Amino acid sequence: MSTAPQPRASASWWSQNDSGWCLRANRAGARLGIRRYFASVSRLGDGVFWYALMSLLIVFDGWNGLAASAHLAITGVAALTLYKALKRWTKRPRPFAADGRIRAWVAPLDEFSFPSGHTLHAVAFTVVALAHYPGLAWLLLPFTASVAASRVVLGLHYPSDVLAATAIGGALAALSITVASAVTL
């Protein structure tokens, strides 16, 4: 009789399906047009898109844009600190490192998979930006969804990494908005 703890059936089911969903999405990257689109979105999600947005807010909305950009920057620093700590703590291998069938279509920025930093930042930035400029939803929501999808298609993250990052980014943004509202009262 074995006394070693047995994995829960639901955890095993989730892990198998997480890998399976990742593999199916990653296969789409074999198509050059899809791979180029998601690689470009991923590259923009490295920060270029967000820095450009912050600059444009200042140019087009002056002091209000500067205040919104400062809010985005502060939220970004908090997101960076949080996601780096989580990656060091969880040390989850990236899908392409754990499963030889999954291909990394672009080079990863770091070693570990959980959570997706690109997604965490994209969600946090989008929520904060929309709190200041709801009219930007037409641009920010599709871009953020594309960033999240890119992480799985490119073989860099499991769907659960992206879902967790979405929840963490949303919670961080909500906290940031709450704190900012309290400070400006």
Q: Evaluate the omega torsion of the peptide bond into residue 115 and state whether it is cis, within 30 degrees of 0.
A: yes
| Secondary structure in 3-state letters for 80-133 | HHHHHHHHHHHCCECHHHHCCCCCCCCCCCCCECCCCHHHHHHHHHHHHHHHHC
- Do residues 162 and 94 lie in contact, with contact meaning Cβ atoms separated by under 8 Å? no
Going by pLDDT thresholds of 50, 70 and 90, the confidence category of residue 173 is very high
Q: How far, CA to CA in Å, does 16 sit from each of 7, 22, 24, 67, 112?
A: 13, 10, 12, 45, 19
Share of residues in the chain with pLDDT > 70 (%): 91
Going by pLDDT thresholds of 50, 70 and 90, the confidence category of residue 181 is confident
Q: What is the pLDDT of residue 13?
A: 53
In the predicted structure, residue 144 carries a pLDDT above the cut 60? yes
152 in any annotated domain: yes
Q: Name residue 57's amino acid.
A: L
Going by pLDDT thresholds of 50, 70 and 90, the confidence category of residue 160 is very high
In the predicted structure, residue 1 carries a pLDDT above the cut 70? no
CA distance 152 to 133: 29
The per-residue pLDDT for range 83-121, each reduced to its tens digit, is 899 999 989 989 998 888 998 999 888 889 999 999 999
| Mean local confidence (pLDDT), 171-178 | 96
173 in any annotated domain: yes
61 in any annotated domain: yes
67 in any annotated domain: yes
pLDDT mean across residues, the chain: 90
In the predicted structure, residue 5 carries a pLDDT above the cut 60? no
1 in any annotated domain: no
The per-residue pLDDT for range 46-59, each reduced to its tens digit, is 999 999 999 999 99
Going by pLDDT thresholds of 50, 70 and 90, the confidence category of residue 15 is low
Provide the residue range defining the domain that includes 149.
18-183
Q: What is the pTM of this model?
A: 0.88
Q: What is the pLDDT of residue 185?
A: 58
Q: What is the pLDDT of residue 183?
A: 81
Q: How many domains does the chain have?
A: 1
145 in any annotated domain: yes
Q: Which of 17-31, 59-73, 135-149 is least confident?
A: 17-31
Looking at residue 102, which CATH number applies to its domain?
1.10.606.20
